[in-house]
Structure 1
Amino acid sequence: MFTGLIKEKGKISHLSKNSQGVRLTCQVSAGFLEQIAIGDSIAVDGACLTCVAKRGREFVVDIMPETFKRTNLRYQHIGNTVNIEPALSAAGRFEGHFVTGHIDAQSQLLDKKKLGNAEILTFSCPQGHEGEIIAQGSVAVNGVSLTVVSCDEERFTVSLIPHSRDKTNLGQLKEGDWVNIETDILGKYIKAQTGIERRRHV
């Protein structure tokens, strides 16, 4: 479980692919890995992965084919910046919103503009997830917990404060870039339960 509050911007230092999957190595700041043990869950651009090795300032994760296919990790290259968040500690302070690290879909950045000190980002609304993204609700974009400003069936908009822009990779996005989307888990359960109730009364 995660919160969507990014603790680190990492840089991809190695990426190897074979028929079994992908192994990704990420470099982080000095001291960051002191809180990460081999076997721990760690979110990379919002995708929950497992740390399988670490050395110096680098950690290694394995990405299975299904995760690679369902996330924007398939577009990553050496030198790219990714958002990093360790798993939430039961004794830790909870902020943001409940983020599982299970990516629902990918969305494309359609528009980016400034409004005062904020940056307004508009993304395509992922098909099949209608009703899971609502105005003033929560959504995780590349693992970042954000509030939805507005939405319709085709697009949704979020607003970045300077801190979120500078401390995550969202500020580096260009129109056409793909991002990982995780919709609000509470909304998904309500949507699923509502569907069950409707089928019972048909």
Structure 2
Amino acid sequence: MFTGIIQATGKITRLEITEKHAKLSISAAEIAKQNLPLGASVAVNGICLTVTSWQNNEFTVDVMPETMKRTNLGKLTNGSLVNLEPSLSLNGKLDGHLVAGHVDTTAEIISRSENENAIELRFKVPHKYDPYLVEKGSVAIDGISLTVTMAQNDEFGVSLIPYTIANTTLAHYHVHDQVNLEMDMIGRYAVKQIQAWKKEF
């Protein structure tokens, strides 16, 4: 379990990728090895992955076919920056929102604009996920806990504050780039329950 509060960014140093599988090595000097021992969970661009090895300041993770199908990992290259968050301790602070690290889908950036000290991004989302996005609700974008500023007609927007701009990868993205989305966990179950009630009446 994660919070969507990014602890560091890392750089892809080795990328072995096939159509359905990948092995990534990530340089992450800001995250100590003791915080990510072998077998530990880490969110890489919002994807819950398992640390399989460490060498100097680099750790390695394996990525399975289902993950490759649902995420933007296939578009990464050597040198790409990724957002990193170790798993949440039960006695830790929940500063963002509950994030499972199970990416639902990808979304395309359709507009990017600057508004004083903020960057505003708008995304196109597959229609089946539109019900889970509500204004002032939460969404995890490449692992970052963000507040939805608008949501309508299979589109939604977010606004990046200066801290997010400086400490995550999202400010470097451009129109047509793909991001990983994880819908709000509470919202997901609420929608499913409402749909079940509708079938009964």
Superposed, 1:24-173 pairs within 5 Å as 24-30=24-30, 32-173=32-173
1:193 is aligned to 193
Q: TM-score, normalised by structure 1?
A: 0.96
Please say if residues 124 and 154 of structure 2, whose CA atoms lie closer than 8 Å, have aligned partners that are also in contact.
yes
- CA distance in 2 between partners of 1:114 and 1:134 (Å): 22
Quote the offset at 1:126 in angstroms. Answer: 2.6
Measured at CA, do residues 46 and 30 of structure 1 come closer, stay the same or move farther in structure 2, by a change above 3 Å? closer
| 1:136 aligned partner, one-letter code | K
Instruction: Tell me the matched-pair count.
Output: 201
User: SS of the residue aligned with 1:103?
Assistant: coil
User: SS of the residue aligned with 1:180?
Assistant: strand
Quote the offset at 1:196 in angstroms. Answer: 1.1
- CA distance in 1 between partners of 2:191 and 2:130 (Å): 9
Measured at CA, do residues 127 and 2 of structure 1 come closer, stay the same or move farther in structure 2, by a change above 3 Å? same
Tell me if 1:6 matches 2:43: no
Quote the offset at 1:42 in angstroms. Answer: 0.5
Please say if residues 148 and 158 of structure 1, whose CA atoms lie closer than 8 Å, have aligned partners that are also in contact.
yes
Q: Gaps (5+ residues) in structure 2? A: none
Q: Which moved more, 1:23-32 or 1:146-155?
A: 23-32
Quote the offset at 1:131 in angstroms. Answer: 1.6
Tell me if 1:22 matches 2:22: yes
Quote the offset at 1:144 in angstroms. Answer: 0.2
User: SS of the residue aligned with 1:151?
Assistant: strand
Q: Gaps (5+ residues) in structure 1? A: none
Query: What do residues 109-149 of structure 1 show as CA deviations (whole Å, max 9, x unaligned)?
Result: 11111111111011112321122000000000000000001
Q: Which moved more, 1:16-25 or 1:45-54?
A: 16-25
1:175 is aligned to 175
Please say if residues 125 and 153 of structure 1, whose CA atoms lie closer than 8 Å, have aligned partners that are also in contact.
no
User: SS of the residue aligned with 1:14?
Assistant: strand
- CA distance in 2 between partners of 1:178 and 1:41 (Å): 24
User: SS of the residue aligned with 1:48?
Assistant: strand
| 1:115 aligned partner, one-letter code | N
Please say if residues 11 and 28 of structure 1, whose CA atoms lie closer than 8 Å, have aligned partners that are also in contact.
yes
RMSD of aligned residue pairs (Cα, Å):
1.2
- CA distance in 2 between partners of 1:31 and 1:2 (Å): 15
Quote the offset at 1:92 in angstroms. Answer: 1.1
Please say if residues 113 and 120 of structure 1, whose CA atoms lie closer than 8 Å, have aligned partners that are also in contact.
yes
User: SS of the residue aligned with 1:186?
Assistant: helix
- CA distance in 1 between partners of 2:97 and 2:150 (Å): 18
Identity percentage over the alignment? 37
Q: TM-score, normalised by structure 2?
A: 0.96
